[in-house]
């Protein structure tokens, strides 16, 4: 079993505070109470947006690879290929196929690429940003073994 949540970097949470402060400064023109409300609402909205963006999960569970909203049976997956940072950049830019399924987070430098072997599926491969590409590859290989 494998479970990973792709959370945003800690430094990005400063963006939520910056949004709250910006809204507070705009509303300070009306009143200090409006500025306080703007601060709270702006921080909360920024935090909610960051939390939503960073809530992507990758799991290998019950014979399936679950990546975001996609659920792919492991029996239609080829050999997992862990990608180093330079290779990951190439596969999400110049080598990318527009038909591929990509769970992409630019702040995660490494990734895993797995071909889809189902002849009826037009998706050529799955690209997953992951902080542990080798562990994810091992979990997929273990799930692909007969009787797993």
pLDDT band at 55 (very low <50, low <70, confident <90, very high): confident
The full DSSP string for 58-125 is: EEEETTEEEETTEEEEGGGEEEEEEE-HHHHHHHTTTT--TTSEEE--TT---EEEEEE--TT----E
Under 8 Å between Cβ of 38 and 24: yes
CA 73 to CA 77: how far, in whole Å? 7
- Predicted confidence at residue 72, as pLDDT, reads 93
Q: Quick one: pLDDT at residue 37? A: 96
Write the pLDDT tens digit of every residue in 66-86. Answer: 998 899 999 999 999 999 999
Over the stretch 118-148, which tens digit does the pLDDT of each residue have? 989 899 999 999 999 999 999 999 998 876 6
pLDDT digits (tens, 9 = 90+) for 14-52: 999 999 999 999 999 999 999 999 999 999 999 999 988
What would the two tokens of residue 73 be? 């049976």
């Amino acid at each position: 079993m494998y479970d990973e949540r792709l959370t945003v970097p800690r430094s990005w949470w400063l963006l939520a505070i910056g949004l709250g402060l910006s809204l507070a400064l705009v509303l300070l023109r009306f009143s200090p109470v409006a500025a306080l409300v703007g601060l709270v609402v702006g921080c909360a909205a920024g935090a909610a947006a960051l939390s939503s963006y960073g809530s992507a999960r990758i799991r290998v569970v019950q014979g399936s690879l679950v990546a975001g909203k996609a659920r792919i049976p492991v029996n239609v997956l080829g050999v997992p290929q862990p990608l180093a940072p330079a290779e990951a950049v190439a596969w999400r830019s110049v080598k990318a196929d527009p038909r591929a399924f990509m769970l992409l987070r630019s702040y995660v430098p490494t990734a895993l690429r797995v071909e889809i072997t189902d002849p009826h599926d037009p998706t050529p491969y799955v690209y997953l940003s992951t902080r542990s590409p080798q562990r994810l590859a091992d979990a997929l290989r273990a799930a692909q073994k007969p009787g797993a």
